[in-house]
Structures are given as C-alpha cells and as structure tokens.
Structure 1
Amino acid sequence: MLRSLVQNPKVRARVLERVDEFKLNNLSNEEVWFRELTFCLLTANSSFISAYQALNCLGDKIYYADEEVVRNILKSCKYRFYNLKAKYIIMAREKVYGKLKEEIKPLADNDQQLAREKLLNIKGIGMKEASHFLRNVGYFDLAIIDRHLINFMKRIGAIGETDVKHLSKSRYIYFENVLKSIASNFNLSVGILDLFIWYNETNTIVK
C-alpha cells in the first residue's frame, strides 16, 4: 500500500508540494519560524485540527499578547489545554523569539540532531515537537513519531506493541532509526516518508 502511494503521481505531487512549502519556511523570517514553533507547541497532546484552529485564532498575537490574552483566546476557540499552552507560548517567546532562526538554522544546517537537542530546552517541546518543528522549517532527516507512525510500524511488523504516549528518548531514537531504514528503501528522507505514511493512515497531507 505504501509503495503504491509513493509511486502514485498525484499523491507524490501533493507531498512534494508540501515539501516545497517547508523549504520556503526555511528561507522565511523569524516570525514564520516562531509561528511554526507555536504550532508545534499547540499540537502536543492535541489533534492537528485543534492546534491549527488555535493558531489561527491567535493570529499575530503570539508575537506580543500577554499570557492572559493568549489563554482567553485559546479558551474561546475551544482549545483544551488553554492554561498550560498559553504559559508555554509566552515562555517560548521570552526565551527564543527574535533569535530562534539565527540560533537554530546554523545548527540544523550542519547537524539536525544537535538542533533538536537545542530545541528540547524550550518548555513544552519534546522529541516529537522538536522534530516536527525542524521538518516544518525545511529539515527532513528526523522522524515525527506519533500514533499514526507507531500504528503503521506495528501493522507492517517493524515494531511490537508500545505506549506512544510515554516514549523515552532512547525508544524514540530507536523508532526513528527503524523509519529511516524504511525510508531508505524508498530513497526518501524520513521526514518526507512521514507525509506518505500520514496520507496512508489519514488520507490527508496536513502536517
């Protein structure tokens, strides 16, 4: 099934179009990078749709609004974790906004794993969120291990049963290496294979 998707011209065109958007993000300004970071903060323990709606509700207020305003906006647009995520967004803004791209891009250009380690210093950013952020700003050598990818790997027999909600760092890297091995069979970067798997699991390309 996955091989047929990878070889399907229409699906491949949609995936590569999304990849081009991520590459454009890489060339974009600090505001775009921080918006992508905020999105990844919002996706943790939430669905893509919920996070995307919340991000759109916030708009440019992620760059200047105080915590109470951010919290109230998240609450008004029915985002579940409005208290915690408002705190994380403000903490991230105080910690990295204005220097996010200048600090992360040189690292990621040379060593994406090192850039991911740096991002883990941001409250609310774990391995999945850091990998997601880097992929969305144009780096494709890290895996975004979520339940869809776990389910895919279990179904093809690449891994056994596991608890996706409590992945240790070492377990995450093990699964990432499994996916890299699968990606190499398709001559793809693991961050691009992710989009095909997501389409295979959800029939959408939205990440």
Structure 2
Amino acid sequence: MIYEGRQLQAAVASICPDIESRVAQFRDPADERALWWELSVCVLSSQVPFNLAIAAAEAIDKLGVLYCSQQRENVGEAIHCILRTHLNVGGRERLYRFPSVRAVQLERIHASVLANADSLKALLAGFETANHARRWLVANAHGLGPKQASMFLRNVALTYDLAIIDRHVLDYMSLTGLQSNAGSAVSSLKHYLPLEDVLRVHAEDLKCPVGILDWAIWIVMRIAKQQKGYAQ
C-alpha cells in the first residue's frame, strides 16, 4: 500500500490522543540520577546503535561519577575507562565506538552544570521556560544539538512543547507539504526553530502539543518506511 501525504497526516492525527493520554500518566519529575542517565544516553547515542548507548550509559551510571555532585575531578578519565571496556549488549560483548570524544563531552557537560548550579536538577529548575533550558544545553552541553536537547527535556518529562526533528519528521513535512524542502537533519537552532514553528502550527491544528505530534509522526513514518509504503 502506498500512503499519500493526507493519509500519513490522518494516521498521525488518529494516534496523537492516545500518546497524549499515555504520557500524562508519567509526568513525575526525574531525580538527579535519572536526569544524568537520560542526558548521557542523548550524548552517547549519536552515531551508534541505541542499545549500545544504553549499555554505556548503564555502565557510567553504576560508577556514579555524573550524578554524584561531590565528584568533580577525574570525571572524564573515569568515563573514558568505562567506554574503553567491553559492554554487554544483548548477551554480546561490544566496544563503544567513540570513547575519547564522548568522555570529553560528558566531562565538559558535568563541569558546565556544576559551574552554574549545585546539581543538574537545580539547573533545570532555574530556567524560566523549556526553550531557555534548551538554548543553554545547546550552547553549553557539548555533544548535544537542538534535537538531542529537545529529546532530553522530553524524556525527563520537563516539557512536551519542544519538537524532536529527526529524519522521519523531515520526511513527513516534505510528504505532507508542510515544508516544500525540509532538507536534511539540522544541527543549529537558527535552522531548527523555523521548522519547529511550522510543526507547532500543525500541532495546534491537530489540537495536541508539538512534542506529542513529533512522537506520532515518528511512529507512523517508521511503519510506513518499513513497509516502503509512502509516495516519493
């Protein structure tokens, strides 16, 4: 079956209410440990399989080096040692692809957070809006672009008013005519925000938060692509 833009839009609209109902049950604020776990996953999942990023984040979490505010020295060295060891991923031993780069990025994020607040939780609580929090993360959390920062803020249930614009969402925007040439993944807020504004208007038409809309788009487009069932 070939899905046209209007059919994709109808499919997205049909599942938005269900997603919104489900997430409403899980809005409890994350604690410090959970915040650092989610943030490390967002950094570690860039250009590697997600299950490998999860395994790496779990190993770092067990060490406690990020969520322990007293730990201010040798953070990068400790993380680097973990990322250089074999990780258990689905019963198989795997090596993480970018141990040095990600260790430095997480070390810098940790230092930036503690230079501005007593904890990551306190830092996030101090922002007036989720958009302000995202801007800070993009500017100060090395390794996080606007998509990853938006994902982090949604995963910790801080907001559903920011969009996660990935390849699926960009394809949906092109196929439905929301954006004639959505282009490839965007890494700067300058190019990200106009696309998010378009999605936000679309979300208002469907009467759901933009963070719920992009989730529904991801589900629909992933299924359509697996079936190779959308019109080019």
TM-score (norm 2): 0.72
Closer, same or farther: CA 197–127 of 1 in aligned 2, 3 Å:
same
Map Cα deviations across residues 133-191 of structure 1 (whole Å, 9 max, x no partner).
11112201111111111111111111133442454422200000011011111111111
Query: 2:10 matched to which residue of 1?
Result: 3
Q: Is 1:88 aligned to 2:105, yes or no?
A: yes
Shift of 1:196: 0.5
Structure 2: how far apart are the matches of 1:106 and 1:183?
27
| Amino acid paired to 2:129 | D
Closer, same or farther: CA 104–160 of 1 in aligned 2, 3 Å:
same
Among 121, 135, 138, the alignment partner of 1:101 is 121
Map Cα deviations across residues 83-137 of structure 1 (whole Å, 9 max, x no partner).
3112212222333265111111231xx3111111111211111211111111112
Among 195, 210, 214, the alignment partner of 1:194 is 214
Q: Is 1:70 aligned to 2:75, yes or no?
A: no
Structure 1: how far apart are the matches of 2:40 and 2:12?
31
Q: What percent identity do the matched residue pairs reach?
A: 27
Structure 2: how far apart are the matches of 1:77 and 1:58?
15
Structure 1: how far apart are the matches of 2:189 and 2:101?
23
Closer, same or farther: CA 74–133 of 1 in aligned 2, 3 Å:
farther
Shift of 1:80: 2.7
Structure 2: how far apart are the matches of 1:156 and 1:88?
37
Shift of 1:36: 1.0
Query: Is the 2:170–2:185 contact (alpha carbons within 8 Å) kept by the matching residues of 1?
Result: no
| Amino acid paired to 2:184 | V
Once superposed, what is the RMSD of the aligned Cα atoms? 2.6
**Please, which moves more after superposition, 36-45 or 135-144?**
36-45
Query: 2:144 matched to which residue of 1?
Result: 125
Where structure 1 has 5 or more consecutive residues not aligned to the other structure, the ranges are none
Q: Is 1:28 aligned to 2:47, yes or no?
A: no
Larger radius of gyration: 2
- Secondary structure, counterpart of 1:142 in structure 2: coil
Where structure 2 has 5 or more consecutive residues not aligned to the other structure, the ranges are 1-7, 67-74, 88-92, 224-232
Structure 1: how far apart are the matches of 2:105 and 2:188?
21
Query: Is the 2:186–2:192 contact (alpha carbons within 8 Å) kept by the matching residues of 1?
Result: no
- Secondary structure, counterpart of 2:97 in structure 1: coil
Structure 2: how far apart are the matches of 1:190 and 1:176?
8
| Amino acid paired to 1:117 | R
Q: How does 1:46-195 map to 2 (within 5 A)?
A: 46-61=48-63, 63=65, 66-73=78-85, 77-96=94-113, 99-107=119-127, 110-120=128-138, 121-138=140-157, 139-195=159-215
| Amino acid paired to 1:69 | C
- Secondary structure, counterpart of 1:102 in structure 2: helix
Q: Number of aligned pairs?
A: 196
